[in-house]
Amino acid sequence: MTEMERKLQRTESKRAAPSRNTDAALLARCAQLSARYLDRSALPVSVRWVPPMRTRWASCTPVDKTIRVSERLRQVPAWVLDYVLVHELAHLRVAGHDAEFWELVRRYPKTERAIGYLEGLSAAAGWGISELDAED
């Protein structure tokens, strides 16, 4: 391993700090993202990591304001996970995927890049996940 590779590896492990991998960290991140992009209007009661789901990355139940995030997303870059959280937070306000919904989600500037990242990840891993979520 070269010195440069070692340096990169250290940076990577720092970025994937274990603190983000708890349910409490997800909830705290949701509060930050809601304040930044959604006028604090969307706050879940709970956000939990759940075992990989077959057809989706995450899900949201607006009626009890709960969000579940697939453990397959534990390893993605923070900006991709942020997109997933903003998407699910927006569902607390708008249930479906209509124009009003996407207007909210696209306040998060890396939305299109994150969608592309997730499509590529699913294709590369052979998971066949074509949509972020489905309504409960």
Binding stretches for Zn ion (CB under 5 A): 133
SS (H, E, C) the chain: CCHHHHHHHHHHHHHCCHHHHCHHHHHHHHHHHHHHHCCCCCCCCEEEEECCCCCCCEEEECCCCEEEEEHHHCCCCHHHHHHHHHHHHHHCCCCCCCHHHHHHHCCCCCHHHHHHHHHHHHHHHCCCCCCCCCCC
Cβ-based nearer residue to Zn ion, 82 or 133? 133
Cβ-based nearer residue to Zn ion, 12 or 135? 135
Cβ-based nearer residue to Zn ion, 12 or 112? 112
CB of 55 to Zn ion, least distance (A): 13
CB of 123 to Zn ion, least distance (A): 19
CB of 126 to Zn ion, least distance (A): 23
